[in-house]
Amino acid sequence: MVSIRQASDAVLRTRDANVARTAAPSMRRERVTLRVAVLVILVLSIASWQLVVWGLRALGL
């Protein structure tokens, strides 16, 4: 499974490398926000698949 850092870094790589290298504090905050957002999305997607699995087991499938 892809780690949170790998997922967020892949998104950040699409930006200008010079801007990312000389990141201002606001850009650093943006990176943290992006990592939190990726983490939330991953947790919610895993939780939703877990609910599907539990539902299928409850139905005996």
- pLDDT tens-digit map of 1-13: 667 777 677 767 7
Q: Secondary structure of 16-28 in the HEC alphabet?
A: CHHHHHCCCHHHH
- pLDDT tens-digit map of 13-50: 766 565 656 656 666 777 888 899 999 999 999 999 99
pLDDT of residue 60: 86
pLDDT of residue 54: 92
| Residue 28: alpha-carbon gap to chain centroid | 16
Residue 35 and residue 41: Cα distance in Å, rounded?
10
Q: What is the pTM of this model?
A: 0.47
Residue 31 and residue 11: Cα distance in Å, rounded?
10
